[in-house]
Structure 1
Amino acid sequence: MDRKRTVNNDVKEDAVPKSKKGKHKTKSVHPQQAVSVSLNECYTCVSNLKKFETSYQAAETYDEGSLQLYHEPFTHCVLPTFIDDEKFLSRLQEELLDLTFAEKNNDLYKFCQSREDLKVVSSPYIGALRDLIYVKFKDWLEKVTNIPLNDTVDMSCAKYEFTDTLLCHDDELEGRRIAFIYYLVPSSWSDVDGGALDLFAVNENGQPADVVKSVVPARNSFLFFEVTPVSFHQVAEVLSEDKTRLSVSGWFHGPSINRPTPFEEPHPTLAHAISIEEDMFFDWINPTYLDMISQADIRERFEEESQIELQNFLQNSKYEQLKNALQKCESWTQRGPANKRCYSLMDTDNPPEIVQECIQVLKSDAMFLVLSNLTGLKLHELAPESDTDDSEEETTANGTKGEPCYCSQVRRWRHGSYTLVHDNDIEGDREFALDTLLYIGCEGWEPDQGGITSYIARGEDEELLSVSPSENSLALVYRGQDTLHFVKHLNARSRNLPNKEFYDICCTYYE
């Protein structure tokens, strides 16, 4: 089962000047007062309500007037004019922007969320919206959907600004039955501003495939959908640099539904080292890292921190040939599913000749020996024995414990690429692993563009280590199965890279 997410869906602002993320804005000048608000009458009209209820429970499309109901790729509904009171909307927006916001930033999302749960906020207009959603609208929703809902309703406010996003997920968590989003974006918001709610179709394994529908935020529109095993969606990256995507979102709760056993991907195929000509190896690797004194110094630092970055790792001539081949290569395949990863993968069965040569060097027994000397790990039979070596071999599905092996990928990263953390991201029975990341073509890269590889402890969000792309560098990271990693979403700023993309050759070695 994937790690559960407990953040709300989205939010932002209107014509009101933008505030800095996480900062508290000037308090509203409007005095506390009793406020009430009603659902737009077009939704409560008896004739409209009956038609909508019938269509919903018959799984039929309904698109008449201000009611829009669709069942593909999963059941969702849009109420374009939720509240017919512009003065109320303006005051509500002011109160929402008066809230204190905290930046939320991990593998799945980057945006600002209200620190306070809206069910405890005493502001009059927020209170009126809460009463409408918790009572009147919940009753309306139960009647329309025929889904019994309990008194648990989650509701918070979110602001998405330039480059903010919430990547693909299904909202699945015990008790959640219906998700909702109420938009208070500027009236001028359009598809070029980003921030759409993207809906995914699923493949034969129940995993998200392609985005088949995008709902552009519209001021005063209310969207809801049933939370199911196939309700995969995302908040597309906000591309506007001067507009704020403000919304109130949350979930209605009810009886849990039966869910299928989650699909489990096969573990990567592990292989053993190969032999290559000695001259080929020396042609590729910077002599600095083949010097025994340098190796000893690097090993000492690595053993203290379990990670190190080796600059200018490849010989310049080979590196330039490799970079040129990757930039010209057109044989890339999009790698998914979107709730786990999104990047391009090179087919290593038929790579460009220079790329194939580089891969051979990285999986050669000479490379295994050099890595042993650089890290102190037992990756080669000629590596020095350590006090912790276990000579007993045990056969597993992925090879033999104690027999060094590896797996590798050649990846392309560009705007929109990322990987996510998942609890089943383990490599079979291998307890420890040495990750190596060889970066190519990332000149001009800046940290705020994304693309950082972050390491975290299983079940935690706090970052243990981050690895930044650096031209012709080899990053080494030693980790256990309880240390997971992800590549941060490459945002719109990454389009400023000279070639708008970079590459890495990611290898994982096992003792």
Structure 2
Amino acid sequence: MERKRTVTDDVNGETAPKVKKGKHKTKSANTQKSLSVSLNKCYTEDENVKNFESSYQAGKACDAGGLQLCHEPFTHGILPTFIEDEEFLESLQEELLDLTFTEKNNDLYKFYQSREDLKVVQTPHISALRDLIYVKFKEWLETVTHIPLNNTVDMSCAKYEFTDTLLCHDDELEGRRIAFIYYLVPPSWSDEDGGALDLFAVNENGQPAGVVKSVVPVRNNFLFFEVTPLSFHQVAEVLSEDKTRLSVSGWFHGPSIIRPAPFEEPHPQLVQAVSIEEDVFFDWINPTYLDMLSQADIRERFEEESQIELQNFLQNSKYEQLKDALQKCDSWTPKGPANKRCYSLLDNSPEIVVECRRVLQSDAMFLVLSNLTGLKLHDLAPESDTDESDEDTAGTNGTKGEPCCCTQVRRWKHGSYTLVHDNEIEGDREFALDVLLYIGCEGWEPDQGGITSYIARGEDEELLSVSPSENSLALVYRGQDTLHFVKHLNVRSRKLPKREYYDICCTYYE
């Protein structure tokens, strides 16, 4: 089952404040009269409201009175010039930028969020915007959409700067009915600056199939959409190095809707160890890692830390042939869905790549990995401390506890990533050995992304990380409560010599 990913950190649903008629005081550095601000009158004129309402209910597009209403790939509306008072906007922006921001950074997103929920901020212009959204605009939404909204509204401020992004998700969380974004970007913002709201279509399994519409941020535009099982979207990476994508966003809450059961995708095919000629195996593996004393030293370190990185793992001649073949290969298939991953898999592998995979899946490799880790991956390996009964380790591949593995040859470039999800370990197996062989990543730097990060289930704090390193083999032993993801490769990764690199990702089971 997919691990539900939503943007919820530090933004909790709150009851909208009751607004009394007449003047009232707001708390700020100096006590002052409260401000008020109105929705652009073109959206509140009776005839326009009726047109918006009828179009919304009929599922028809509308582009009248300034409002842009569209129902593909899911229902969303854009209100340009949401507030007519430009002086108010300038002061509102100053107040927002004066807030304290915290960096939010995990598998799904990287941006800066206001530390305080905007419901408790008492500066005059933020208070006025909050009153407008919580009361007048909420009433307008209920009229147009016929969705009964309650008094729970979430609202926070976000800053997206160079390389910041929010990857594909659907906003689905109990009670959320309408999401909104109010843009306060510079007037000069363009599509070259990135930061667009990308909207995804879905496939027959209800999973995101690809971006079909991108909405470029425009200053003083207000965008809203219904939160449904179809509302997959993302904030594209900000590409501008000197502009800030400033916005106020959140959700209106209402009665929950019926949702289909989560889609469960099949696991990769597992294979048992294959036979390989001894001389072929020795042609590939650095002799250092075949030496018994070296293996014993590596095993001791691995058993202490459950992870290790082995540099120059392949013989140099074979490694160069493998790298050259991958760099010349043009047979790659994008791998999704985008709410779980985005990279490319190799099709029609060249012979040298086929041979490398056979080495990694070979009986000899299972034995070497057993010697390097202390795991029971081969009949000749000693019993490991983690061995359990056949009943406890029975897998779903037709064999009870038989050592097996799966392998993928992956290409990574700008825009690639993986997200955390629950079904990362096969069937009933409790533990797995991740093995990553990196190829062609010379010139890689940490600020480019691409780090494989391991976290505990339900937590964002990193337990350990694996960085791409030329001709290195990374080994990580993990249980079902340890999840992992590959951090989004940002625009800086275009500086790589080939603008891409590769890995052969293997998972072994005892």
Whether these two folds match at TM > 0.5 is: yes
C-alpha separation in 2, matches of 1:241 and 1:395 = 52
TM alignment of 1:380-459, pairs within 5 A: 380-390=378-388, 392=390, 396-459=395-458
Amino acid at match of 1:356: V
C-alpha separation in 1, matches of 2:508 and 2:344 = 22
Alpha carbons of structure 1 residues 36 and 327: separation in structure 2 relative to 1, 3 Å: same
C-alpha separation in 2, matches of 1:243 and 1:390 = 56
C-alpha separation in 2, matches of 1:390 and 1:170 = 40
Alpha carbons of structure 1 residues 244 and 373: separation in structure 2 relative to 1, 3 Å: same
Amino acid at match of 2:219: R
SS state of the match for residue 120, structure 1?
coil
Amino acid at match of 2:304: E
C-alpha separation in 1, matches of 2:136 and 2:262 = 36
TM alignment of 1:158-177, pairs within 5 A: 158-177=158-177
What corresponds to 2:225 in structure 1? 225
Q: CA deviation at 1:407?
A: 0.3
C-alpha separation in 2, matches of 1:67 and 1:81 = 10
Q: CA deviation at 1:221?
A: 0.2
Partners of 2:5 and 2:108 within 8 A in 1: no
Q: Deviations over 1:458-509 (max 9, x none)?
A: 1111111100000000000000011111000000000011110000000000
What corresponds to 1:271 in structure 2? 271
The count of aligned residue pairs is: 492
C-alpha separation in 2, matches of 1:64 and 1:288 = 72
Pairing 1:321–2:326 present? no
| TM-score of the two chains, using structure 2 as the length reference | 0.94
SS state of the match for residue 485, structure 2?
strand
Alpha carbons of structure 1 residues 261 and 222: separation in structure 2 relative to 1, 3 Å: same
C-alpha separation in 2, matches of 1:395 and 1:491 = 40
What corresponds to 1:367 in structure 2? 365
Q: CA deviation at 1:34?
A: 1.7
Q: CA deviation at 1:8?
A: 8.0
What corresponds to 1:17 in structure 2? none
Partners of 1:153 and 1:250 within 8 A in 2: yes
What corresponds to 1:135 in structure 2? 135
Amino acid at match of 1:292: M
What corresponds to 2:461 in structure 1? 462
Q: Deviations over 1:106-164 (max 9, x none)?
A: 00000000000000001110000000000000001000000000000000000000000
Amino acid at match of 2:404: C
Q: CA deviation at 1:3?
A: 2.2
| TM-score of the two chains, using structure 1 as the length reference | 0.94
What corresponds to 1:291 in structure 2? 291
Partners of 1:9 and 1:235 within 8 A in 2: no
Q: Can you give the 5+ residue segments of structure 1 that lack an aligned partner in the other structure?
A: 11-27
Q: CA deviation at 1:38?
A: 0.3
C-alpha separation in 2, matches of 1:87 and 1:8 = 32
C-alpha separation in 1, matches of 2:60 and 2:50 = 13
Pairing 1:262–2:266 present? no
C-alpha separation in 2, matches of 1:410 and 1:37 = 56
C-alpha separation in 2, matches of 1:218 and 1:59 = 25
What corresponds to 1:335 in structure 2? 335
What corresponds to 2:24 in structure 1? none
TM alignment of 1:5-20, pairs within 5 A: 5-7=6-8
TM alignment of 1:187-202, pairs within 5 A: 187-202=187-202
C-alpha separation in 2, matches of 1:508 and 1:215 = 39
What corresponds to 1:125 in structure 2? 125
Q: Deviations over 1:306-331 (max 9, x none)?
A: 00000000001100000000000011
What corresponds to 1:68 in structure 2? 68
Amino acid at match of 2:199: L
Q: Deviations over 1:52-106 (max 9, x none)?
A: 1111111110012411000000000000110000000000000000000000000
Q: CA deviation at 1:425?
A: 2.9
Q: Deviations over 1:160-180 (max 9, x none)?
A: 000000000000000000000
C-alpha separation in 1, matches of 2:398 and 2:497 = 42
SS state of the match for residue 119, structure 1?
coil
| Counterpart selection for 1:379 from 377, 380, 383 | 377
Alpha carbons of structure 1 residues 226 and 301: separation in structure 2 relative to 1, 3 Å: same
Q: Deviations over 1:333-354 (max 9, x none)?
A: 000000000000012xx31011
Partners of 2:395 and 2:426 within 8 A in 1: no
Partners of 2:10 and 2:115 within 8 A in 1: no
SS state of the match for residue 119, structure 2?
helix
Higher alpha-carbon deviation: 419-428 or 181-190 = 419-428
C-alpha separation in 2, matches of 1:378 and 1:213 = 50
Partners of 1:3 and 1:459 within 8 A in 2: no
Q: Can you give the 5+ residue segments of structure 2 that lack an aligned partner in the other structure?
A: 12-27
Q: What is the percentage of aligned positions where both structures have the same residue?
A: 82
Q: Deviations over 1:198-249 (max 9, x none)?
A: 0000000000001000000000000000000000000000000000000000
SS state of the match for residue 224, structure 1?
strand
Q: CA deviation at 1:409?
A: 0.2
Partners of 1:161 and 1:244 within 8 A in 2: yes
What corresponds to 1:39 in structure 2? 39
What corresponds to 1:498 in structure 2? 497
TM alignment of 1:20-35, pairs within 5 A: 32-35=32-35
Q: Deviations over 1:432-468 (max 9, x none)?
A: 0000000000001000100000011111111111000
Q: Deviations over 1:285-319 (max 9, x none)?
A: 00000000000000000000000000000001100
SS state of the match for residue 223, structure 2?
strand
C-alpha separation in 2, matches of 1:246 and 1:67 = 22
What's the RMSD between the two structures over aligned residues? 1.6
C-alpha separation in 2, matches of 1:34 and 1:408 = 63
C-alpha separation in 2, matches of 1:56 and 1:88 = 30
What corresponds to 2:147 in structure 1? 147
SS state of the match for residue 267, structure 1?
coil
What corresponds to 1:24 in structure 2? none
SS state of the match for residue 219, structure 1?
coil
Alpha carbons of structure 1 residues 103 and 387: separation in structure 2 relative to 1, 3 Å: closer
Alpha carbons of structure 1 residues 388 and 158: separation in structure 2 relative to 1, 3 Å: closer
Alpha carbons of structure 1 residues 152 and 265: separation in structure 2 relative to 1, 3 Å: same
SS state of the match for residue 167, structure 1?
strand
SS state of the match for residue 433, structure 1?
strand
SS state of the match for residue 112, structure 2?
strand
